[in-house]
Amino acid sequence: METTSHDVLLVGGGGAGLRAAIAVAEADPSLDVAVVSKVYPMRSHTVSAEGGAAAVISPDDSLDAHAYDTISGGDWMCDQDAVEAFVREATEEMLRLEHWGCPWSREPDGHIAVRPFGGMKNERTWFAADKTGFHMLHTLYQTSLKYRTTMYDEWFVTRLLVEQGRCQGIVAIQLATGKIHAILAKAVILCTGGCGKVFPFTTNANIKTGDGMALAYRAGVPLKDMEFVQYHPTGLPFTGILITEATRSEGGYLINKDGYRYLQDYDLGKPEPKPVLRSMELGPRDRLSQAFVKELEKGRTVETPHGHVVHLDIRHLGERVIDTKLPFVRELCRKYENLDPVRELIPVRPVVHYMMGGVHTDIHGATSLPGLYAAGEVACVSINGANRLGSNSLTELLVFGARSGKAAAKYAAEQAEPAGGLLAQALDEERRLGEVLLGKANGRERIAGLRDEMQGAMESGAGIYRDAGSLEAAAGRVAEIQERFKSAALDDRSLTFNTERIAWLELSNMLELAEAIIASALARRESRGAHQRTDHPERDDGRYLAHSLAHRHDGGGPRIEYLPVTITRWPPGERVYGR
Ligand SMILES: Cc1cc2nc3c(=O)[nH]c(=O)nc-3n(C[C@H](O)[C@H](O)[C@H](O)COP(=O)(O)OP(=O)(O)OC[C@H]3O[C@@H](n4cnc5c(N)ncnc54)[C@H](O)[C@@H]3O)c2cc1C
């Protein structure tokens, strides 16, 4: 087996990974930095972010206002020390990106243009038309090229190497050759993104299988707040492609089958011709997705061959605004729905979009395993609480990517070379991966079928509304799928780009995460943000103003513990929108 070593190793080449890599190189230029990514960095999911990134820039805005919107939007589940650090460092990060070349959209007078976003009481979302993630990722990638960073593109990480109580490297498959490599490191930062593919209908691409969450979980690090799964209210039916919240920031309406702006019936304010901050279509995503379900139950949605939908109406914005501010939305509607939103209504329905939960970290990205850090969507630091506000995630990956990079650089500089016993572990992993490839000739179960069944169980049991019965049913189905997964068949024996072996590994990761999501949702007997229990419809601060921590243990379901939420200046209160 080939073995190499670096000082700091990034797993993931998306926004968080590249920002962290730059931070390591800037913090200590003597450190040797490497990035491992299962896809070419520019194909990481950050590239698909459309709407924008939040940071205070207007004179009539304030850091406290951004913090309060984030905390109340998260239904008081956010750690307020993390939120305070986040809002404080957000603007500096955005300006740094500007200096590195990010083409933020501008006002005619040259000032940075900002747009309103759901749940925010001020306009603070910076954007680059509706291709913000694309421009941010390009900027980060080209900046990272200035440093001596080794890139392992199209390498799939399968295991963390842990020796003497600290993380000291990884094992990965080089996809082009199928060869197994050990990469040793004094510090490892997981930046592997979310796990939307645990569900069937999602804005997330096939690569979002939660690998980093599963790697950390298997290495003994708890997963935090996994029950909080964000549904975005406006995905295209059938494909699940996102129609960005920016459509509503620019003034789009959501209407039911009667052409009625139904959000006025859900305590989100009254309809106005122009968008009103934190009202109606600019309410938070959890409330808007829940309102869709209520409309469905009232029989006021539109039936299509791909499920029930409501309509997003942006016709009144006019062609010029749509082409200037929302060109990608027009392109998506034309390509995937064969309609022109300048003249026609866009069919939309809620779609799984983002994981508020993830690898438990502190505000420097450190996990409970020394030497292991996490940042971006894989991590739960936690600034998103029970419901993330749109446009906070791109900023989060900058702020906490930078923080974890600096912390990992400092840690790595103080460590001795990785320990000798790691190679034995790496050889074990090589044996296991060989068995996956060669030992599954006679299996009966198909990976794609098992994946579909798992996704179906999650949608029906752990969707927008859940209860004990639906969650227990999902737990039973996932346990049964886990059992059948042991006899999954692999037909492809080749080493070169064996996507079937990768699909097997990804499914094994997702099954672990599905169990953690269900167990965390079952244990939380209250409703808060994106976690709505019809059998426990009230928020219960007395018992559950606490983060869930799912610990893995062999031979049983996850063990759930709780950790108090950090409150600094904003005691729990009512979430008020539209007033
Ligand atoms: C369609 C869409 C639009 C969005 N729009 C916005 C928006 O406007 N504003 C906002 O704030 N947020 C938005 N979000 C959310 C935001 O884009 C993501 O949360 C964020 O980009 C995640 O970045 P990341 O760096 O954590 O992960 P990603 O960009 O997903 O990168 C993950 C990296 O990990 C690597 N990786 C994963 N597993 C492995 C493995 N096993 N081995 C090796 N490498 C691995 C991948 O190759 C990739 O490089 C949007 C999300 C979607 C899906």
Digit-coded pLDDT (tens) for 165-174: 999 999 999 9
Annotation marks residue 232 as catalytic: yes
Closest by Cα among 569, 502, 511, 525 to 76: 569
At 372, give phi and psi (nearest 5°). Answer: -110, 130
Q: Which of 232, 308, 311, 524 is catalytic?
A: 232
Alpha helices in 100-167 (DSSP H): 132-144
Ligand 1 centroid–CA 540 distance in Å is 32
> Do 481 and 457 form a contact (C-beta atoms < 8 A)?
yes
Token reading at 209:
């299988």
531 in Cβ contact with 228 (< 8 Å):
yes
Q: How far does the centroid of ligand 1 lie from the alpha carbon of residue 417, in Å?
A: 31
**Closest ligand 1 atom to 192 CA:** 34
Q: From its phi and psi, is residue 12 left (phi > 0), alpha (psi between -120 and 50) or beta?
A: left
| Cis amide bond preceding 470, omega within 30 | no
365 CB under 6 A from ligand 1?
no
Q: How far apart are CA 94 and CA 76, in angstroms?
A: 26
Give the global pTM.
0.97
Q: Which atom of ligand 1 is nearest to the CA of 246?
A: 8
Cis geometry, peptide bond prior to residue 520 (ω within 30 degrees of 0): no
Of 233, 363, 209, whose CA–CA distance to 287 is shortest?
A: 233
Amino acid identity, position 428: D
Our CA dihedral for 402, 408, 410, 411, rounded to 10 degrees, sits at 160
Which of ligand 1's atoms lies nearest the C-alpha of 375? 26
Name 443's Cβ contacts closer than 8 Å, sequence gap at least 6: 487, 488, 489, 490
Q: What is the radius of gyration, based on Cα positions, of the chain?
A: 23
- Site to probe by mutation for ligand 1, drawn from 331, 393, 504 as the one with most ligand atoms within 8 Å of Cβ, is 393
Record the tokens describing residue 442, joined without a space: 């006679």
Query: How would CATH label the architecture of 233-351?
Result: Alpha-Beta Complex (3.90)
Rounded to whole angstroms, the Cα distance separating 266 from 220 reads 42
Q: Tens digits of per-residue pLDDT, 159-192?
A: 999 999 999 999 999 999 999 999 999 999 999 9
CA distance 169 to 160: 6
User: How far is the first Cα of the chain from the last one, in angstroms, to the nearest whole number?
Assistant: 63
The continuous run of DSSP H or E covering 564 comes out as: strand 559-564
Tell me if residue 348 falls in helix, strand or coil.
Answer: strand
Query: Whole-angstrom Cα distance, residue 305 to residue 379?
Result: 37
What are the tokens at 233?
Answer: 């209210």
Which of these, 239, 222, 240, lies nearest to 231 by C-alpha position? 240
* Beta carbons of 17 and 164 less than 8 angstroms apart: no
Rounded distance from Cα 404 to ligand 1 centre (Å): 17
CB atoms closer than 10 angstroms to residue 147: 14
* Neighbour-count burial of 259, counting CB atoms closer than 10 A to its CB (0-12 exposed, 13-18 middle, 19+ buried): exposed
**CA 270, 276, 280, 281 torsion-angle sign:** positive
Q: Is the CB of 406 under 6 A from ligand 1?
A: no
Tell me what pLDDT residue 556 has: 73
Element (DSSP H or E) covering residue 426? helix 422-438
37 strand-pairing partners? 153
Please tell me the predicted confidence (pLDDT) of residue 444.
87
Can you give the residue ranges of every domain in the chain?
233-351, 422-540
Say what the pLDDT of residue 441 is: 64
Which of 42, 190, 394 best tests ligand 1's pocket when mutated (most atoms within 8 Å of CB)?
394
pLDDT value of position 436: 84
The rounded Å distance from CA 91 to ligand 1 centre is 21
Class of domain 422-540: mainly alpha
CB 48 less than 6 A from any atom of ligand 1? yes
Q: Is the CB of 45 under 6 A from ligand 1?
A: yes
Q: What is the DSSP letter of 345?
A: P
Looking up tokens 């869709």 gives 292
CA torsion angle for 332, 337, 340, 343 (degrees, to 10)?
Answer: -130
Which regions in the chain score pLDDT beneath 50? Answer: none
Question: Does ligand 1 lie within 6 Å of residue 12's CB atom?
Answer: yes
Q: Is 575 a catalytic residue?
A: no
Strands 223-224 and 358-360: antiparallel
Q: Which atom of ligand 1 is nearest to the CA of 46?
A: 21
CA of 12 to the centre of ligand 1 (A): 9
